[in-house]
A = this chain, B = another copy of it.
Amino acid sequence: MTKGHIKLADVAKAAGVSQGTASNVFSRPEVVREEVRERVLGIARELGYNGPDIKGRLLRAGRINAIGVAAIDPLAYFFEDPWARALMTELATVCDATGTGIALVSAQNQQKLAWNINSALVDGFILLCVEGGEKLVELTRRRQLPFIALALGGGDASIPAIGIDNIAGAATVARHLAELGHHRFAILAIGLNSDHVGAVTPEQAVRSLKSTSRDRALGYWQALADFGIGREDVPMYGTQNDRLSVDAALEELFATAKPPTAILAMSDRIALLAMQWLAGRGLAVPGDVSVVGFDGVPEAATAGPGLTTVAQPLQEIARRAVAAILEDAMPPLQEALDVTLIVRGSTAPPRLD
C-alpha cells in the first residue's frame, strides 16, 4: 500500500547493525544480545516494519508449509460434494495438527487448471481424481513436486496413490441386500458418457466406465452371481452424480413392469438423491424399495431413514496422504484400504408379493 515499503535492510541500516544480525533478531532471537535485539525491534516498530516478508524468506528456505488439494471441477466442488467435503474435513484435521495450510486448486477447463497447478504455492499436491484423474496426474507431474492420487482407481502402477478396495466394498453391500432376500436389483453408476440415455449393457459398462466405477460394478456382479443373479439381469444406468441424471434414470427405471426392490447406488450422494426421488414418488424406503450407497459420508447417517452404505476409511486416507506429502512417506504404490459395511434403516427384506 504505502509505496515506500521498508525492508529488513532498511531496519538494519537505521539500527546500525548488519543485515545478518537484523535477520537474526527476527528469525533466531536467542542468538543476538538482548540489548541489540531490543534496539533493533524498537527501530523496526518505529519504522513500521512487521517482521520478515514471507516472499523473501520463502525464496531462501523453499518450504511453504501448505499442501494443495486439486480436482478437475469448479472450486465449489470442495464444499458441495458430500464425499469431497467429508474427505476435506479429515484432511483439514490432519493439517491442523501439523500446522500445515491448505490451498484449493481447481478449475473446470484444463488450461486454467494447468496454470493453477503450476502457480500454486504449495509443497505438494493431493489429487482428487474422481473426474479425469489421468489428466490431473499428468499436469501435476510436470510440477515436479511430491503428489499422491486419491480415488484414482486402477491403472498406471507408476502413480503413487491411496485407494480403497472398491470390488470388495461393492460385493459386501450387494451381498447384504441379497441376503435380505432381494432378487430384483438396479445399479445407479457414476460417470457414463453424459450423452447416453437409458440402461446400459454390461459390455458397454465395462468398456466405458472409469476404473473406480467399473470396480464397483464388478463387485456388485460378483456378489450377486453367488445368489444366481446374472449381470444381464441387473439394469444399470449412468448418472453424473447429480440430481438431474439420477432423477432421469429412476424415472425410466420405475416406468418398467417389474421395478427393482433394491437399488445399488455407487455413491451416497446418488443414493440420497434416489431416496428423495422415491419419497416424492410415494415409495417407502425400505418398505417398497431398499437403497444402499457407497462412501459413508456424514449425511448418510442423518438422512431419514439412515442410509446403509459402505464406509471409506477417510481418516486413515487423509492421514496417509498428508504424511506422504509432508514427510515424503510415499506409500507402497497403489495401496488399497479396506472399507466397512454400515447397516442403517434404508435396507430391509423385500415386501412379499
A binding-site residues for B, Cβ under 8 Å: 1, 50-51, 54-56, 58-59, 62, 64-66, 74-76, 78-80, 85, 88-90, 92-93, 95-96, 99, 101-108, 112, 115-116, 118-121, 142-144, 146, 276, 302, 304
**Knowing that A76-B93, A80-B89, A104-B104 are A-B contacts, what are 20 other residue pairs whose CB atoms are under 8 Å apart, sorted by A's residue number?**
A54-B118, A54-B119, A54-B120, A55-B62, A58-B121, A65-B119, A66-B120, A75-B92, A76-B92, A78-B88, A79-B89, A79-B92, A85-B85, A96-B106, A96-B108, A101-B104, A102-B103, A102-B104, A276-B302, A304-B304
- A142: which of B50, B106, B118 is its contact (CB, 8 Å)? B50
- Complex copy number for this chain: 2
The one of B58, B99, B102 in contact with A112, judged by C-beta atoms closer than 8 angstroms, is B99
**Chain B residue at smallest Cβ distance from A62:** B55
- A121, B79: Cβ atoms closer than 8 Å: no
B76–A79 CB distance below 8 A: no
Q: In chain B, what residue has the closest Cβ to A107?
A: B96
A76: chain B residues at CB < 8 Å are: 88-90, 92-93, 96
| A101–B144 alpha-carbon span in the complex (Å) | 20
Instruction: Give bound CA distance, A88 to B50, whole Å.
Output: 30
Q: Which residues of B contact A276 (CB under 8 A)?
A: 302
- 10 cross-chain pairs, A with B, having the tightest CB-CB distances, nearest first: A75-B92, A76-B92, A121-B121, A79-B89, A76-B89, A79-B88, A103-B103, A102-B104, A75-B96, A79-B85
Considering the chains assembled together, what is the distance between the CA atoms of A302 and B275 in angstroms?
12
Docked CA distance A142–B52 (Å): 12
Shortest CB-to-CB span from A259 to chain B, Å, is 24
A46 to chain B, nearest CB (A): 15
